[in-house]
Amino acid sequence: MAGGWSTSPALFADVVEQSIVKRVRIIAMDMLGEVVLRSPVDTGRFRGSHTISIGSPVYSDSGRLDRSGGSTTSAGLSALTGLEPFTQVFIQTNLPYAQKLEDGHSKQAPAGIYRVAFHGVSQAYS
């Protein structure tokens, strides 16, 4: 193709969008992993309560008990399979005592959970 495109701009756009989705998925899973790791554990309810959703937050509690964090992480990875480019990803817990834990009311997480996880992940990707 003399003077034309050797690769269609549409194909290039697809590659960029796929790269964005991959990067967002990696960062979201790193964030969830940090949140799960930093979650104080008694019964496993708090560790199991973290949820990933795409496009909008969810306002329910999974009721999952997860002392190890493995099923919470697996559920998060599964939730990200439908990720589209430029879509918001939400990582949250809806337990009524989550704010107290975030404010340091646990000897296992005196500096909080989400803020510490966010700081670490944002530093890793800045």
Three-state DSSP class for residue 21: helix
User: Cα–Cα distances in Å, from 42 out to 46, 67, 70, 80, 82?
Assistant: 8, 8, 16, 28, 32
Answer with the residue of higher pLDDT: 1 or 41: 41
Distance of CA 30 to the CA centre of its chain: 7
pLDDT at 29 over 60: yes
Cβ(52)–Cβ(28) under 8 Å? yes
Question: Mean pLDDT across the stretch 101-126?
Answer: 97
Mean pLDDT of the chain: 93
74-91 residue pLDDT tens: 999 999 998 999 999 999
The full set of domain ranges for the chain reads: 9-124
Question: Mean pLDDT across the stretch 2-7?
Answer: 68
